[in-house]
Amino acid sequence: MRKTWKKSAALTAAALLAASLSGCGGSGQNDGTKAPETAATEANQEAAESPETEEAKQDKAEEKPSGGGELNIYTWAEYVPQSVIDRFEEETGIRVNYTNFEANEEMLAKLETSNGGDYDIVIASDYIIKIAADEGLVKEIDKEKVPNYENIDPVFQNFFYDPENTMTVPYGPGIPLLVYDPSMVSCEITGYESLWDPSLEDSVALMDSERVVMGMALKTMGESFNTEDLDVIRAAGDKLMELAPNVRVLSQNQTQDYLLSGEVNAAFLFTSQVVLALADNPELEVVYPEEGLGFGVDAAFIPANAPNSDNAHAFLNFILDGEVGAEVSQQTYYLCPNKAAYEFLPEEFQKSLVISTDDIPNGEFIQDVGAEATALHEEIWTEFKAKLD
Amino acid sequence: MKRRSRTMDRAKASCWTKRAREGRWWMTVIPLYGFTILFVALPILYLIVLSFLTRAQTWGVVNQLTLENYARIVKPVYLNTFKESFQLAILTTITTLAVGYPFGYFMARLPKKRKTMMMLLVVIPFWTSALMRMYGWIIIFRSNGILDKLLMWLGVTEKPLKLLYSYPAVLVGMIYSLLPFMILSVYSSTDKMDWSLVEAARDLGATRLEAFLTVTVKMTLPGILSGIVLVFIPSMGLFFIADILGGGKVMLVGNLIQNQLQSGRDWPFAAALSVMLMIFTSIMIWLYRRLSGVKDLEGLL
């Protein structure tokens, strides 16, 4: 499924490239005379609003003679579908520069060194947005420039990282779930606790993330993911050590492949991975852990000193359009936070996306727990990994 | 009088040019020093200073001096990570030496044309990203992968083995990645060797083995030791191999540092770990110099 998507995306990209090349061949010279003016006016408009970026803006205007300037997107690789970027470029004439990071922390470190400059749109996870906002690196969204803001389903708003809904646009919300292959598993899987079952020896895939895995252990004890009680964390750590013999692999990306290839029989997967796993093998069983759900939102925000703030607003408005929003969710395989998009989602897609929005209020975010608890989590994780090999 | 003044002039002139030459020589070194200070000394200094600071509650670093970061390294959990990395590095080094020494030795003894050919074959894998080559190993090792199918076809095993995501898989990846360094080091010192010394030893009645042990090994010692250093030091820090072939289950010092930087958000502790790793590797290089009596690394450096 993913493969075919990539292939078709590549084909579309190739076709678009061919189209744009042939287009340029015919009218390239006309473009040359006309475009610098528009670019310059654009630059002036921007400069009037944010004088400190005037120089940067003009540099860019010179570089790019044929359109409405640039937009620098910073997020994980392939997280914004190429088809969406192409369409945005085509409709607005804004050239998109896509830079990717591997980890949220990498993004924040970079954002901090540039003091919220360099990038116009960042899509990252909830907890890091909270930290970025506290560090003053997030700009307030001018909702007049984003009329589609009202398309956001309120279920996906008012979260801890943006309680007043002033800074972010939810992009990829998800609930991680347990998925297993019933033909290979002899025990009954109902929640996190089931993963400790001895019959699952060396056949479980988990996320390579201490807070998520520790969170599972905490939930089996009826505790919150975000407890700062060191004794409780230690007790969860002791429990986690007993899970070691069952863990076959720790992985963040493409974890569903381990399940599909038979390398593991049960896995704790992100929403997108759940969708992809089910698409490939409908026989797989999905479990809503009885101890309690996790929940996470990847959201888009504009950094405090974004060089092309207007373009960033245009982009937010663009992805909040119903049709575009549907395309984003269909290709990222996360929940769709855009209520205007629901009618554009194919029925088949709605069915494969098993999570109902009713579950969302029950989900718990993983949030920062402060220096001491974080250090303890790290220590337990190191000990856990030493037990794994 | 006339003659004397001329010699004096000449002396003066030569003196002047020499000083000028010295001056210019000094100028040419500036970029080198500048580069080293800017890109080596300053970052290391930054790292050392950082390792004594305190992490902030949620993000960043507080300017508050502490020894806490170094005290934490001594905790059994983290010492164990150093121990595991050290073990893996030792295993990797011994295996690469066992395979790389004969390889490099015989490569140096090949006719010139085939020597160049072999050299090329050893170096070619470097043209592909190390990451890509690790994914190649996944295809070989995964259950129902190439190796599994081969073993089952040969009747050695009956069902797919769980070869991937294990310590041995990481070891294979390490050996595979670092073997060329050992081969090239041994090769370059064997290639330079004066074979008449071996002949002399044989003439004086040494057996082949005796001649090899007393003469050849001794003369290729700088190559062996530089190979050991070049293999050992990177194998302490190659965290992506442990991540890919170990399925995230093997934690080395490199992984630990990466974790502290990312999910731990504890830069000072990561810096302290890096400083410890640097001290450790410096000791290795110091030992190398003591043992081999050579100031530079043979072969690649």
Q: What is the pLDDT of residues B161-202, one digit of tens each?
A: 888 898 899 999 999 999 999 999 999 999 988 889 989 999
Query: Is residue A50 located within the same domain as residue A138?
Result: yes
Q: Are residues A201 and A286 in the same domain?
A: yes
Optimal mutation site among B46, B57, B72, B77, interface A, most CBs of chain A within 10 A: B77
Interchain contact, A371 vs B264, CB within 8 Å: no
**Contact (CB, 8 A) for B260 and B266:** yes
Distance from C-alpha of A342 to C-alpha of A383, rounded to nearest angstrom: 45
Task: Answer yes or no: is pLDDT of A48 > 90.
Answer: no
Structure token pair of residue A254: 């493409």
Same domain? A122 vs A184: no
Contact status of A378 with chain B (Cβ, < 8 Å): yes
Measured distance between the N- and C-terminal CA atoms of chain A, rounded to whole angstroms? 33
State the smallest CA–CA distance between residue A101 and chain B in angstroms.
Answer: 12
**Is the separation of the CB atoms in A173 and A295 below 8 Å?**
yes
Q: Is A99 strand, coil or helix?
A: strand
Q: Which domain holds residue A219?
A: 177-292+356-388
What number is the ipTM of this complex? Answer: 0.82
Same domain, A282 and A334: no
Q: For CA atoms A201, A207, A211, A216, give the dihedral sign.
A: negative
Length of chain A: 389
Asked whether residue A32 is assigned to any structural domain, the reply reads no
Q: In this structure, are A141 and A206 located in the same domain?
A: no
Band of pLDDT at residue A361, cut at 50, 70 and 90: confident
Chain B nearest C-alpha distance from A199 (Å)? 16
Question: Do residues A134 and A223 both lie within one domain?
Answer: no
Contact A293, A175 (CB under 8 A): yes
Q: Residue A203's closest CA among B143, B173, B158?
A: B143
Same domain, A153 and A243: no
Confidence of residue B97 (pLDDT cuts 50, 70, 90): very high
A5 in a domain, yes or no? Answer: no
pLDDT band at B73; cut points 50, 70, 90: very high
Q: Could you tell me the maximum CA-CA distance found in chain A, to the nearest angstrom?
A: 73
User: Looking at A90-99, A285-294, A365-374, B291-300, which range is the least confident one?
Assistant: B291-300
Among the partner-chain residues A131, A202, A250, the one whose CB lies closest to the CB of B248 is A250
A54 touches chain B (CB under 8 A): no
The string of DSSP codes covering A141-191 is P-GGG-GGGGGB-GGG-S-TTSTTS-SEEEEEEE--EEEE-TTT--SPP-S
A304 and A267 co-located in one domain: no
Which of A102, A263, A366, A377 should be substituted to probe chain B, the one whose Cβ sees the most B Cβ atoms within 10 Å?
A263
Does residue B298 surpass a pLDDT of 70?
Answer: no
Which secondary structure element, helix H or strand E, spans residue A303, and what is its range? strand A296-303
Mean pLDDT along residues B213-234: 89
- The yes-or-no verdict on residue A28 having pLDDT over 60 is no
Report yes or no: A265 and A180 within 8 Å, Cβ to Cβ. Answer: yes
Section B210-217 average pLDDT = 90
- Residue A25 falls inside a structural domain: no
Q: Is residue A210 part of a domain?
A: yes
Tens of pLDDT, residues A177-214: 999 999 999 999 999 999 999 999 999 999 999 999 99
Percent above pLDDT 70 for chain B: 90
Dihedral sign from CA coordinates of A246, B261, B232, B119: positive
Mean pLDDT throughout B91-112? 94
Q: Which amino acid is at A273?
A: Q
Number of domains in chain A: 2
Distance separating alpha carbons of residues A73 and A100, to the nearest angstrom: 8
Q: Is B61 helix (H, G, I), strand (E, B) or coil?
A: strand
Q: What is the CATH number of the domain that holds A126?
A: 3.40.190.10
Let me know whether A52 and A182 are in one domain.
no
Q: Evaluate whether residue A16 is within a structural domain.
A: no
Mean pLDDT on B22-34: 79
pTM over 0.90: no
Give a yes or no: residue A23 inside a domain: no
> Which domains are delineated in chain B?
76-292 (1.10.3720.10)
pLDDT tier at B9, thresholds 50, 70, 90: low
Band the pLDDT of B27: cuts 50, 70, 90.
confident
| Pick from B59, B77, B143: CB nearest A379 | B77
pLDDT tens for each residue of B131-161:
889 989 988 988 788 888 898 889 888 877 8
> If pLDDT is split at 50, 70 and 90, which confidence band does A63 have?
very low
The pair phi, psi for residue B260, each rounded to 5°, is -65, -35
**Is residue A111 within 8 Å of residue A275, measured between CB atoms?**
no
Q: How far is CA A73 from the centre of its chain?
A: 13
Does residue A377 fall inside a structural domain? Answer: yes
Name the band, by pLDDT with cuts 50, 70 and 90, for residue A30: very low
Residue A107 and residue A194 in one domain:
no
pLDDT (tens digit per residue) in A309-360? 999 999 999 999 999 999 998 899 888 889 898 888 887 666 545 466 677 7
pLDDT of residue A346: 82
Name the packing angle between helices A210-220 and A230-241 (round to 10°): 90
Instruction: At A209, list the tokens.
Output: 């993330």
List, in order, residues 6 or more apart from B204 with CB less than 8 Å away: none
User: Can you give the pLDDT at residue B295?
Assistant: 60
For residue A49, is pLDDT > 60? no
Kindly report, residue by residue over A237-279, the tens digit of the pLDDT.
999 999 999 999 999 888 999 999 888 999 999 989 998 998 8
d(CA A209, CA A207) in angstroms, rounded, equals 5
Looking at this protein, which amino acid is placed at residue B250?
Answer: V
The mean per-residue pLDDT over the stretch B58-72 comes to 91
Q: What per-residue confidence (pLDDT) applies to A362?
A: 81
Q: What confidence score (pLDDT) does residue A190 get?
A: 95
- Contact at CB, B142 and A371, closer than 8 angstroms: no
Residue A305 lies inside a defined structural domain of this protein: yes
Do both A169 and A95 map to the same domain? yes
Nearest to A225 by CA among A137, A147, A295: A295
At A315 the pLDDT is 96
Same domain for A203 and A148? no
Chain A residues with CB under 8 Å of B265 CB are 105, 374
Strands A204-206 and A266-269: parallel
Instruction: Check residue A26 and give its pLDDT.
Output: 33
